[in-house]
Structure 1
Amino acid sequence: MYLNDIITDIINTIVSSIENYGWYLLLCLIVFVYIYHSYLKSYINDYMKWKDEKEYSEKYHKNPDLFVARQVAQQQAAMKLQEKYNREAEEHRKKLEEREAKKREEAMQKFDGQGGQKLGSESSKQSFKPDYNPLMGSGSGSSYRPPRRSACSRGGCG
């Protein structure tokens, strides 16, 4: 029972403080966020960068072998990434070559040996729209032509 009274008392105090001073707390929070993003953030980032550089230089100044080992590890990692990239590029190039060869074979199958297309091949069809018939004339939307522009068309000339 005693613990419940303490917790209830704390919650009531917090709620009443927010009720009485809520707008002031909100205003202070907004001002703090503005100051943090405008000024403090850049100073904190600069300080953290400076601190990291200082620790780095102290660490590798004391032990140059550690610096060399790190450089070698970085170079090995870069070489692994380069080898992986080269392998993937070669695989991609082979796939492209296979696709091109397949396209050439399909194209050669469509044409007979004398340079013309075989009868009944799919590419011999014309690529007209399915509803288009050239004997029926032009469509409804293409018959309008706007009037020619002249120097006097907008109420000038006279």
Structure 2
Amino acid sequence: MEPQVESNVHPETLNQKEPEIVGNIAFGVTSLLVNYGWHFILLGAVALFAWHTWLKHKYETWRIEKEEREYDARYHKNPDIGKSRQEAIEAARKKQQEELTRASSLQVEIDKEIEEQKRVEKAAERQRLNAEQPGRRLGNSLDSDNAEALANAKIMKKGRAFKEDYNPLDGGGSSRGYRPPTKGCPGGGCGRK
């Protein structure tokens, strides 16, 4: 007897089907999103708003209280923890104060050097100006041959910077005849019959 060979042991084309559970999950998720998508978005927005306005504060308060309870429990078991923590805090404060003092003294020295440099520069400028024009007052740029500048200087000495015949408080000018309109009666009556 000859062994019988099956002719269709392997199919001619290999079609690999995806597992049925993956297809069911994908179909379920897409159908939920299609049917209730806007509800999920609205629920997410409400949750986000609640987190930022109320829940975040509550969570932070709860977390801090939890840490304090844990620290108190550890401290109650071993009091040296609290002592070492206080010593570490004091050492950190002392180190920060020393750094601040050192930086402050360095800044004071820098400021003194800058002030000294400015003082030296001003003294050099004064000496230079005195060497150029002795007897000249600083800030005065009047020339003796400029008659207009002398006239302006005389006016400035009197305390007036305007013309002698002009006084702005006199009310002179083109607006002299202006009078505001009288207010009429709001209904047109004013007691007339």
Bucket of the pairwise TM-score, normalised by the shorter protein: 0.5 to 0.7
Q: Are 1:27 and 2:55 an aligned pair?
A: no
Larger helix proportion of the pair: 1
Give the distance between the partners of 2:131 and 2:34, measured in 1 at CA: 88
Give the distance between the partners of 1:26 and 1:84, measured in 2 at CA: 53
Task: Output the aligned Cα RMSD.
Answer: 3.7
Q: Indicate conservation of the 8 Å contact 1:60/1:66, yes or no.
A: yes
Q: Displacement, 1:154?
A: 4.0
Output aligned runs, 1:6-155, within 5 Å.
10-11=25-26, 13-112=28-127, 117-119=130-132, 153-155=179-181
Give the distance between the partners of 1:154 and 1:3, measured in 2 at CA: 93
Paired position in structure 1 for 2:161: none
Q: 1:16-53: CA deviations, max 9, x gaps?
A: 43222111111111222233334333322222121111
Give the distance between the partners of 2:27 and 2:140, measured in 1 at CA: 82
Give the distance between the partners of 1:87 and 1:157, measured in 2 at CA: 73
Paired position in structure 1 for 2:160: none
**Gapped regions of structure 1 (runs ≥ 5):** 128-133, 136-144
Fraction of identical pairs, as percent: 27
Paired position in structure 1 for 2:156: none
Instruction: Report 1 or 2 for greater relative contact order, CA contacts < 8 Å, sequence distance ≥ 6.
Output: 1
Greater gyration radius = 2
**Gapped regions of structure 2 (runs ≥ 5):** 1-15, 142-147, 150-167, 185-193
Give the distance between the partners of 2:26 and 2:132, measured in 1 at CA: 89
Equivalent residue of 2:127, what SS? coil
Q: Which letter does structure 2 place at the counterpart of 1:109?
A: A
Change (3 A) 1:34 1:112: closer
* TM value normalised by structure 1: 0.66
